[in-house]
Amino acid sequence: MDLLLYNPRSAWSKRRVPMSLLAIGSVLEGRFDYRILDGNFLSDPVRQVSEVIAAEQPEVLGLTVMPGPQLHEAIPLTRALRETFPHLQIVWGGYFPSNHPDVVLRSGWVDFILRGPSEVSFLELMDALKGDDDPRNIPGLSFLDDDRPVHNPARQPMTHPDDLPPWPYPRVGDLDRYLGRSHLGERTTSMHTSYGCPFHCSFCAVVPIYEGGWLGRSGRLLADDVEHVVRRFGVDAIQFCDNNFFTSFKRVHEFSEEVLRRGLRISWWGEGRPDTLLHYPDEVLSTMRRAGCRMIFLGAESGSDEQLRRMNKGGTQTGETVLLLAERFRRDDIIPEFSFVLGGPAEDVGAEIEREIGFIREVKRRNQDAEIILYIYAPVPTPGSDLFGVASQEGFSFPDRLEDWLRPEWKALDLRRNPHTPWLKPRHVTRIADFESVLNAVYPTVSDIRLRPWKRRVLKALGAWRWAMKVYGLPYEIRLFHRLFRYRQPEQEGF
């Protein structure tokens, strides 16, 4: 075998098809002998991956690594494999190494990093490694030269997604393992149809990688991909995980029209921006709805225009945009899922949090079905941005050693639950968590399909007086209920 591609565990239930590795695999077909191994199905990854390597002798091991659980598995696994198989070439790709290449390379366990979208660069790297050529000019490649990290410029122009082959689904084995029941349908899968985002929000990990670049697969090819999974695997629901699926309304319109023309019966979800969607023509929204669009995740971030400015949200987004969109989607029968980033640096952090709570209540007043997702601001390396500048001034810095990312405080940062940023005090984190518990009781998410109607009624009853009286503190009775019935939080368990 030339190459093993490994997907570290990202979830304990509701497993996702490993999209990053399917994307990489798409260009390797017919060129290299490779295999995709998914850690979500392994019980003892170090032993099991070692056995595969010992038996099949790949020359290269590629890992895809996101912050959070994947990173926490990837660090000890890579360290162990480096010791056992010193001649194995190890390559990391994905969001974590793309944003933190130095700390990864300095560990000494990883030979190469490919930053950002890497289909073509990985093919070039494989060609170089197999042909004993010098790989050091490959775009987007990071490596150590005499202990000094070198980062080649990104590929310019970015490869157009229309020029990439479809994903080789059979490589992940029986797709049924990934097709779960969700609020959208019985056989739900994820797809990713565009790279990057044209904006530069200073809390967002997409920005340092794409620097405002965005390219999407055309509506017609996208419909081909969807038709394939519908007809071949019986998929009836799709989550489009693109950072900004709705960037081009022409693309979305073309796709929606193709879905209707081809008679594809699907429900779908995607991620976008409130200002973009607010400016969508009525005709496009109505075609999307008829083509199965049920819910849209929207980065609202904050109700304060000052905070939005500090976050460099850009575009035409304001608090008012979010409220208007909440109303528009109520009329159009699409569920808006607004995400907020709370707990950023501010003169009076507590007062900011209270103001956001007030704003979220107003969103719910305008549209009861609007879902609310709360994150706590965790810095991402966007040097030069206001927000990262303030965070650095306040004493925030990332760990110097890769192993340090395994420490509990950095795990909490990864999950955006408690980032331990210097300005955020325990009382702020508690306040956000208390409010969230009450909010989730009065308005349980539709995405929790295990939550039966009677449980919803009990939850609502528990939360109702608190919501009405604005009493959020110490919601032990709600937490007990959440624990007993394992309430599902999309922001932690995936959408």
Given the rule CB under 6 A, which residues bind ligand SF4?
A: 197, 199, 201, 204, 206-207, 243-244, 273, 299
Cα 444 versus chain centre, distance: 22
Residues 180 and 186: their CA atoms lie apart, in Å, by 6
Q: Which two tokens stand for residue 296?
A: 């849209």
Nearer to ligand B12, 350 or 381 (CB): 381
- 310 scored as a contact of ligand B12 (CB under 6 A): no
Phi, psi of 217 (to 5 degrees): -70, 140
**In the complex, minimum distance from the CB of residue 175 to ligand SF4, in angstroms, rounded to a whole number:** 28
64 contributes a contact to ligand B12 by CB under 6 A: yes
CB of 72 or CB of 253, closer to ligand B12 = 72
Minimum CB separation of residue 204 from ligand SF4 in Å reads 3
Chain-centre distance for alpha carbon 46:
26
From 87-95, 248-256, 388-396, 454-462, span contacting ligand B12 (CB under 6 A): 87-95
**By three-state DSSP, how is residue 17 classified?**
coil
The residue (of 38 and 371) whose beta carbon lies closer to ligand SF4 is 371
- Cα dihedral 18/20/24/29 (nearest 10): 20
**From 3-11, 252-260, 353-361, 419-427, span contacting ligand B12 (CB under 6 A):** 3-11
275 makes contact with ligand B12 (CB under 6 A): no
Cα separation values, 172 from 10, 34, 306, 326, 462, Å: 15, 12, 46, 39, 44
Running DSSP on this structure, what letter comes out for residue 384? Answer: T
* Residues 396-415 as x/- pattern, contact with ligand B12 by CB under 6 A: ------------------xx
Q: Judged by CB, which is closer to ligand SF4: 129, or 341? A: 341
| Distance in angstroms (rounded) separating the CA atoms of residues 126 and 31 | 10
Pattern of binders to ligand B12 over 328-367, x per CB under 6 A?
----------------------------------------
CB closer to ligand B12, 191 vs 323: 191
Burial of 95 (0-12, 13-18, 19+ CB in 10 A): buried
197 binds, among ligand SF4, ligand B12, none (CB under 5 to 8 A by kind): ligand SF4
Bridge partners (DSSP) listed for residue 191: 240
CA-to-CA dists, residue 135 to 89, 143, 148, 354, 412, angstroms: 12, 10, 16, 53, 36
Q: Name which of 467 and 495 has its Cβ closer to ligand B12.
A: 495
Q: In whole angstroms, how close is the CB of 199 to ligand SF4 at the nearest point?
A: 4
Amino acid at 154: A
For the beta carbon of residue 409, count every other beta carbon within 10 angstroms: 11
H or E stretch including 240?
strand 237-240
Contact in structure between 406 and 365 (CB atoms under 8 Å): no
Q: In the complex with ligand SF4, which residue's Cβ is closer, 61 or 204? A: 204
- From the list 4, 10, 274, 295, which residue makes contact with ligand B12 (rule: CB under 6 A)? 10
User: Among 45, 67, 419, 444, which residue sits at the site for ligand B12 (rule: CB under 6 A)?
Assistant: 67
Closer to ligand SF4 by Cβ: residue 207 or 285: 207
Interface residue with ligand B12, options 94, 219, 272, 379 (CB under 6 A)? 94
Rounded Cα distance, 422 and 8, in Å = 31
Nearer to ligand SF4, 95 or 443 (CB): 95
d(CA 189, CA 233): 10
Q: Are 478 and 430 spatial neighbours (Cβ–Cβ below 8 Å)?
A: no
Smallest gap, in angstroms, from Cβ of residue 216 to ligand SF4? 13
Output b/e per residue, 288-319; b: 16+ Cβ within 10 A: beebbbbbbbbbbbbbbeebbebbbbbeebbb
**Binding partner of 376, given ligand SF4, ligand B12, none, CB within 5-8 angstroms per partner class:** none
Nearest-approach distance from CB 243 to ligand B12, in angstroms: 4
Taking residues 182 to 221 in sequence order and writing x for each that binds ligand B12 by CB under 6 A, - otherwise, the string is --------x-x-----------xxx---------------
Cis peptide before 157 (omega within 30 of 0): yes
For residue 102, which phi and psi values (nearest 5 degrees)? Answer: -60, -50
Q: Is 161 in the site for ligand B12 (CB under 6 A)?
A: no
- Give yes or no for residue 447 binding ligand B12 (CB under 6 A): no
The answer to whether residue 303 forms part of the interface with ligand B12 (CB under 6 A) is no
Binding residues for ligand B12, rule: CB under 6 A, are: 7, 10-11, 16, 18-20, 23-24, 62-64, 66-69, 91, 93-96, 99, 114, 116-119, 122, 190, 192, 204-206, 241-243, 380, 414-416, 491-494
